[in-house]
């Protein structure tokens, strides 16, 4: 009996394990079944209604919404307030979850729904105070603009109150609050943040002077300073510690645009092209719409969560933008009163700062209390994550934190009829500063670098933090609207910009030290000069152009300096010599070139600059180009072993990396095997959701950061930055224009318009949007 009991006990753990295993399998099966039921039963019910009739309180007359083949809504209303209310409703149908995350991110409220992971991010945005700046801005909007913002918000709220929400809300357990005009203005402020400034480069320059000899430090400045500014010894801040985990906009946010006169086109009318470069994800940052009401007929794209059309055309004019990138952010070193942490020195007196108490709710965590201190210059940003500077801190003066009226400007330029009325509307578009190109049916083409741009006594002052305690270090006002760079009907017959330097040496004001590498602009100009029979297809082909002018400049140097030893090294060098200089996804040479250039940077900076500071090295590509041009005269090149050693070692590392990843046969290598686009959804990192929210395997794609077809990529090759919207219009017929919105219009993964334009984006196919004969399903919104 005893033996039998013993044997039985020995068997029981196995039985218990089997029982537990069956329970585990049962739970997994239940989860899978629940997921399938959720996906197939619940999610289709939250797809937007695109036909029939919906009753909506607040409308004064029926509004029709026709969705064309690409899911572009064409909204027709009898008055503007109804139009904007319908626009808010439609945006909420397709993009409400994106809008919800956008207002939370800009307001520093992500942690309420995500938890501890986003607390640092929320602390930073609360410190910057984009929502506080939006409150100041909304207070100076005209009554008419506020009425339109409110009508837009009413349309969003009508959807929230009466329609089923998209599945992401259930996944994240979010119950959206009512939308307000302040939410829209806050999202507008976030776009100013996303298009950046230059404070991080000031911080990096300051770090260089703290850590390296002056001549070495100056060599990495974006321009070599004639006035030779030095690091301030009167007050010091630990840059690396103070800005740990800081949130920075994407380094390569930029764009292309160009406009040509009728003398250069087949139609005899002006033509315009625009492709703004921002982050690429699902849903697209852009949402295409057509708005039609008496006195208001406009088509193009807008950021979800804001009214009007920010880029596009109406019946008389068209416009597009790129980022100017001016020095509109200034770090100030501040001396704090050791006896009162809320007082700072200014002109030999202690000045009281403003103190803002912020409370950050944290899902499944403890509430975070944050004290934001604002000096006369702006918020103290060097302590957003904790006390680090003692008696010395850094504050940020930034034009976007002022009261500004961008959304009001958008509503005005939408109604402009000619260059004069368009330019008048631009007076209210202050941040971010943008290069506007313009075309009109009357034949006018024009350009303006528009926005609030500060005046510096000495341009070198914008390279480093300035003294917060000295009046002489304050900005000297702003460049007047009439003195901003401007061109109307140039003799060349075209204007183009690609974040390049826009002013000549005789322009009286400083704009920026941080221009993009010139290659995209040079290639655009190269394709436009001397051509007088351009059509829409030519413009589309230009936007897809992948000739690499950086490689054209530097490949002869790299080939000359590289010492090949192995058969593989010699074979690949031979291939590089015969390259046509196109960043084509099917070629091996772009793969070698871009990894080679990246490894050259590693050879120059890798051992000297910690990873924690490299993210502040904005414009490192331009700096590396300049060091290569300097050659043996560069101190950094000399310190790294000289030009031949740097180039050769970077080459060998490149071949080692490529061979390890793609094999030893260079004929089998292809740029697209590494360089591919996916348009990832922000929730796709959550386990099984990837298969539903992402399009599948990444698509091989041509282009790079330096080609007109912009396609910036992460270290793993995944393309995450570029022209998520492309636009071409011939002013001979302003009722039609050519667009592509990658990856599609809808934010709902069960929609036919979720990823339907992804392949079009990759292959360079455009759809035509008509403003006078749109056809498709029709939804009527009735009072």
CA-wise closest residue to 313 among 371, 269, 357, 247: 269
Distances (CA, A) of 244 to 64, 109, 238, 606: 51, 20, 10, 19
3-class DSSP assignment, residue 229: coil
**What is the rounded distance in angstroms from the CA atom of residue 712 to the CA atom of residue 717?**
9
The number of beta carbons lying within 10 Å of the beta carbon of residue 401 is 24
Based on the residue annotation, tell me whether 685 is a catalytic residue of this protein: no
- Residue partners of 125: CB distance under 8 A and separation at least 6: 105, 106, 107, 108, 247
Largest CA distance in the chain: 108
What is the DSSP track for 358-411? EEE--TTS--EEEEEEE-SS-BB-TTTTS--STTEEEEEEEGGGS---HHHHHH
What is the rounded distance in angstroms from the CA atom of residue 514 to the CA atom of residue 506?
18
Full 3-state SS string of 186-210? HHHHHHHHHCCCCHHHHHHHHHHHH
Q: Give the tokens for residue 478.
A: 């702003």
Count CB atoms within 10 A of the CB of residue 736. 17
- Whether 131 and 122 have beta carbons less than 8 Å apart is answered as no
Is 275 known as a binding-site position?
A: no
Lookup: tokens for 509 = 């004001």
Q: Of 184, 255, 261, 512, which one is the catalytic site residue?
A: 255
8 A C-beta contact, residue 308 and residue 302: yes
User: What gap in Å lies between CA 329 and CA 399, rounded to an integer?
Assistant: 7
Nearest in space to 344 (alpha carbons), one of 384, 373, 385 = 373
Q: Which two tokens stand for residue 10?
A: 């020995």
Strand order in the sheet with 486-488: 52-55, 777-782, 63-67, 73-76, 286-293, 296-303, 311-314, 317-323, 434-440, 445-450, 486-488
**Could you list the active site residues?**
255
């Amino acid at each position: 009996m005893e033996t039998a009991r013993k044997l039985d006990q020995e068997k029981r753990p196995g039985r218990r394990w089997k029982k537990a295993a069956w329970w585990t399998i049962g739970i997994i099966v239940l989860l899978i079944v629940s997921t399938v039921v959720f996906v197939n039963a619940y999610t289709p019910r939250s797809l937007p209604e695109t036909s029939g009739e919906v009753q909506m309180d607040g409308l004064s007359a029926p509004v029709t919404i026709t969705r064309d083949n690409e899911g572009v809504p064409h909204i027709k209303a009898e008055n503007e307030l109804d139009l904007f209310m319908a626009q808010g409703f439609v945006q909420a149908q397709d993009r409400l979850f994106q809008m919800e995350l956008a207002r939370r991110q800009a307001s520093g409220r992500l942690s309420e729904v995500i938890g501890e992971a986003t607390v640092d991010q929320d602390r930073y945005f609360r410190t910057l105070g984009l929502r506080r700046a939006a409150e100041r801005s909304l207070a100076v909007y005209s009554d008419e603009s506020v009425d339109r913002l409110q009508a837009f918000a009413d349309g969003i709220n009508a959807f929230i109150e009466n329609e089923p929400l998209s599945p992401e809300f259930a996944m994240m357990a979010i119950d959206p609050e009512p939308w307000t005009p302040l939410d829209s203005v806050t999202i507008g402020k976030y776009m100013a943040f996303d298009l950046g400034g230059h404070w991080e480069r000031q911080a990096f320059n300051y770090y260089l002077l703290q850590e390296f000899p002056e001549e070495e430090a100056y060599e990495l400045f974006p321009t070599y300073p004639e006035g030779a500014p030095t690091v301030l010894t009167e007050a010091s801040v630990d840059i690396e510690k103070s800005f740990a985990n800081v949130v920075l906009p994407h380094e390569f946010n930029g764009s292309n645009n160009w406009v040509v006169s009728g003398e250069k086109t087949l139609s005899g009318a002006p033509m315009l092209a625009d492709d703004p470069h921002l982050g690429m994800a699902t849903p697209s940052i852009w949402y295409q719409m057509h708005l039609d009401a008496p006195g208001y007929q406009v088509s193009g794209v807008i950021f979800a969560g804001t009214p009007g059309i920010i880029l596009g055309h109406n019946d008389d004019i068209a416009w597009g933008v790129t980022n100017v990138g001016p020095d509109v952010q200034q770090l100030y070193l501040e001396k704090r009163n050791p006896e009162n942490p809320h007082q700072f020195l200014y002109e030999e007196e202690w000045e009281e700062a403003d103190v803002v108490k912020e409370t950050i709710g944290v899902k499944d965590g403890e509430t975070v209390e944050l004290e934001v201190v604002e000096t006369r210059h702006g918020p103290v940003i060097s302590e957003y994550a904790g006390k680090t500077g003692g008696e010395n801190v850094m504050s940020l003066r930034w034009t976007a934190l002022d009261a500004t009226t961008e959304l009001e400007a958008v509503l005005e330029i939408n109604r402009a009829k000619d260059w004069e009325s368009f330019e008048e509307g631009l007076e209210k578009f202050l941040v971010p500063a943008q290069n506007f190109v313009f075309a009109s049916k009357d034949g006018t083409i024009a350009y303006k670098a528009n926005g609030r741009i500060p005046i510096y006594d000495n341009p070198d002052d914008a390279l480093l933090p300035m003294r917060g305690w000295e009046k002489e270090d304050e900005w000297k006002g702003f460049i007047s609207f009439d003195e901003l760079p401007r061109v109307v009907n140039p003799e060349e017959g075209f204007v183009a910009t690609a974040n390049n330097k826009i002013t000549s040496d005789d322009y009286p004001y400083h704009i920026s030290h941080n221009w993009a590498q010139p290659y995209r602009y040079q290639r655009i100009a190269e394709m436009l000069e001397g051509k007088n029979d351009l059509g829409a297809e030519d413009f589309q082909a230009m936007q897809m152009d992948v000739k690499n002018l950086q490689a054209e400049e530097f490949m002869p140097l790299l080939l000359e300096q590289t010492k090949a030893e192995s058969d593989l090294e010699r074979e690949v060098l031979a291939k590089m010599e015969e390259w046509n200089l196109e960043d084509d996804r099917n070629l091996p040479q772009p793969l070698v070139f871009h990894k080679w250039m990246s490894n050259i940077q590693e050879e120059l900076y890798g051992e000297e600059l910690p990873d924690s500071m490299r993210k502040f090295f904005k414009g490192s590509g331009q700096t590396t180009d300049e060091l290569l041009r300097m050659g043996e005269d560069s101190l950094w090149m000399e310190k790294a072993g000289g030009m031949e050693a740097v180039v050769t070692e970077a080459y060998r590392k490149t071949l080692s990396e490529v061979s390890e990843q793609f094999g030893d046969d260079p004929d089998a290598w292809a740029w697209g095997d590494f360089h591919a686009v996916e348009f990832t959804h922000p929730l796709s990192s959550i386990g099984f959701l990837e298969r539903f929210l992402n399009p599948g395997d990444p698509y091989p794609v041509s282009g790079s950061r330096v080609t007109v077809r912009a396609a910036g990529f992460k270290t793993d090759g995944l393309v995450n930055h570029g022209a998520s919207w492309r636009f071409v219009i011939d002013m001979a017929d302003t009722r039609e224009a050519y667009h592509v919105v990658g990856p599609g219009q809808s934010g709902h993964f069960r929609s036919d318009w979720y990823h339907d334009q992804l392949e079009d984006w990759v292959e360079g196919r455009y759809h035509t949007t008509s403003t006078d004969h749109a056809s498709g399903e029709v939804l009527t919104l009735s009072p």
